[in-house]
Amino acid sequence: METINTCSICKNDIDIQTNPKTGIEIWAEGHNAEPVNSGRCCSDCNLSVVIPARLSLAGKKLKNTNITIEEDDSEAWEAQLMLEKQRTAIPNATFKTHNDTNIEVNGTCLQGHVNAYYPDLFEKFGAPKTHGDGYKTDAEWDLEFEDGTVGTIYNWKNGFNYCGTAGTSVEYITEWNVGGRTTKIVDKIRTVLSKELRK
């Protein structure tokens, strides 16, 4: 079988998945890029392009777009989804994310948990920092609220990065860790998730 080395969406090299404990390569063929195209894609494009596309087909509209795309219109999918991947987060009067600016999260630690689906986190906070830390996390969002409260949302030791093929794909993770410097970050994030703050 021929190895696929190039992402069919961004045209960059497809990342190699390794077992974080042994360093042994376990997968180098990327992710299924459907419905964007019939090829394979890198982990970055899987998280920020393909998963949102699948959610859109399932009735979740892509954030920041009023465009309706026919399922078989591959050129329109390519254009719209690349726009979605490259966008910066919508400015928000209540909080900023890593998509808006660099947020200093050094010194944060676990403060609690939130229950949420990946699509809801994507919708509220934009695209995550893909690959997480490449070891114990797979997706992470950095946040800073107007009052200076800083926090992170991330999965922990349950995804593909840490567990290899036995891990859970981010779209199926429902309990997320919340990091911060004070427990009030947990309530702030729960408030964001409980109502539509981003327009």
Domain boundaries along the sequence of the chain: 17-86, 95-194
Work out the percent of the chain whose per-residue pLDDT is above 90. Answer: 36
Q: Which CA distances in Å does 9 have to 19, 35, 130, 132, 160? A: 25, 11, 15, 20, 21
Q: Give pTM, 2 decimals.
A: 0.60
Among 17-21, 26-30, 90-94, 167-171, name the one with the lowest average pLDDT.
Answer: 90-94
Between 86 and 189, the higher pLDDT residue: 189
- Residue 81, pLDDT score: 56
For 144-166, what is each residue's pLDDT tens digit? 999 999 999 999 999 988 998 89
Residue whose structure tokens are 């830390």? 133
For 28-77, what is each residue's pLDDT tens digit? 888 888 888 888 998 888 888 888 888 777 654 444 444 444 555 555 55
- Taking the CA atoms of residue 71, residue 130, residue 174 and residue 135 in that order, the dihedral angle to the nearest 10 degrees is 140
pLDDT at position 110 over 80: yes
* Residue-averaged pLDDT of the chain: 80
- Residue 62, pLDDT score: 46
CA 77 to CA 94: how far, in whole Å? 31
Work out the percent of the chain whose per-residue pLDDT is above 70. Answer: 74
8 Å CB contact between 44 and 51? no
CA 25 to CA 38: how far, in whole Å? 24
